[in-house]
């Protein structure tokens, strides 16, 4: 009972959300540097975008301005467009070279 | 109450993210990504960003992950990667070191800035009125902000989407015989 009361008393501040977002961003960075499958690299970029969105929302609530939330809205639209174009490029590459890894993409520099 | 939501959703987010990085099979990685995206949506709800939570589920989990799975299935690249292959011996330790360094710098900055004075932003009166209003005020506040202050950016977004669609069609179609490119 006492433990429950003390847990309820803890308030989750914006700092907690910011730390969680930092962890998520760091995991995404490590994934981009470690993995070699282009599709999974793309998923790790999505992880980093989500970490930044979480930061925007946490600070929007802390400051009390809804502008951060509308920024997240635009980030989501741009992320959707980015995924569409990026997957189009990946489809074109993988159709030409099945099972290409990032090492095989050196040919992209022309 | 918010503490429990934060812990559960945070575990979902971090577990899913670790799954994306560590699972060798692309389909498993995509499903771990769904877990992370749902966790972020729950955290949005916990911070009273209801509209963004709905958009997160619809756009990210609904559209983007389905697109990923579609590409994985369509191209038949759903074979597990061999995670033992490591072209550069130093790559993984270096990547983990860079990630840990980045995380510690970010955490330090966040903790230093925690006690800083909140900047005195004065929200526009309509937004301020909507923020302390009723339950559906979140959608209304975002709509006021997007369609008044950021209406030019909103219109440019539609242009961006059209460009993306046209570019993808150009990229994905097979070249015909007469084409020079």
Domains of chain A with bracketed CATH: 13-102 (1.10.287.3510)
What value does the mean pLDDT take over residues B13-28? 92
Reply yes or no on whether the pLDDT at A5 is more than 70.
no
Neighbours of B108 (CB within 10 A): 11
Contacts of B94 in chain A (CB under 8 A): 33
Instruction: Answer with the residue of higher pLDDT: B173 or B133.
Output: B173
ipTM of the complex: 0.86
pLDDT band per the 50, 70, 90 thresholds, residue A21? very high
In angstroms, the CA B168 to CA A81 distance is 10
pLDDT at B128: 52
Contact of B47 with chain A, judged by CB distance below 8 Å, is answered with yes
Nearest to B16 by CA among A95, A5, A51, A63: A51
Among B25-34, B77-86, B157-166, where is mean pLDDT lowest? B77-86
- In chain B, the domains with their CATH numbers are 2-80+124-172 (1.20.120.1200)
Mutation site, B40, B48, B57, B62, interface A, largest A CB count within 10 A: B40
Nearest to A54 by CA among A86, A84, A28: A28
In angstroms, the CA B27 to CA B76 distance is 11
Nearest C-alpha of chain B: how many angstroms from A109? 17
């Amino acid at each position: 009972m006492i433990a429950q009361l003390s847990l309820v008393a803890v308030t989750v501040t914006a700092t907690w959300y910011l730390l969680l977002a930092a962890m998520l961003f760091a995991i995404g960075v490590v994934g981009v540097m470690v993995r070699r499958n282009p599709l999974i690299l793309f998923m790790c970029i999505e992880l980093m975008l989500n970490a930044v969105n979480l930061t925007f929302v946490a600070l929007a609530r802390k400051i009390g301005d809804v502008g951060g939330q509308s920024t997240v809205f635009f980030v989501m639209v741009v992320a959707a467009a980015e995924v569409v174009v990026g997957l189009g490029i990946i489809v074109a590459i993988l159709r030409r070279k099945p099972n290409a890894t990032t090492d095989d993409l050196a040919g992209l520099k022309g | 109450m918010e503490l429990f939501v934060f812990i559960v959703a945070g575990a979902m987010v971090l577990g899913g993210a670790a799954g994306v990085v560590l699972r060798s099979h692309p389909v498993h990685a995509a499903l771990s990504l769904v877990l992370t995206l749902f966790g972020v949506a729950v955290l949005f709800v916990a911070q009273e960003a209801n509209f963004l939570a709905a958009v997160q589920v619809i756009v990210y989990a609904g559209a983007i992950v389905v697109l990923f799975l579609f590409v994985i299935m369509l191209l038949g690249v759903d074979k597990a990667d061999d995670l033992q292959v490591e072209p550069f011996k130093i790559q993984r330790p270096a990547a983990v070191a860079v990630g840990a360094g980045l995380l510690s710098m970010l955490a330090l900055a966040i903790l230093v800035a925690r006690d800083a004075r909140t900047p005195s932003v004065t929200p526009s009166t309509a937004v301020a009125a909507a923020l302390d209003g009723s339950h559906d005020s979140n959608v209304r506040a975002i709509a006021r902000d997007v369609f008044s202050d950021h209406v030019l950016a909103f219109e440019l977004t539609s242009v961006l989407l059209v460009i993306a669609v046209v570019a993808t069609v150009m990229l994905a179609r097979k070249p015909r015989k007469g084409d020079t490119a």
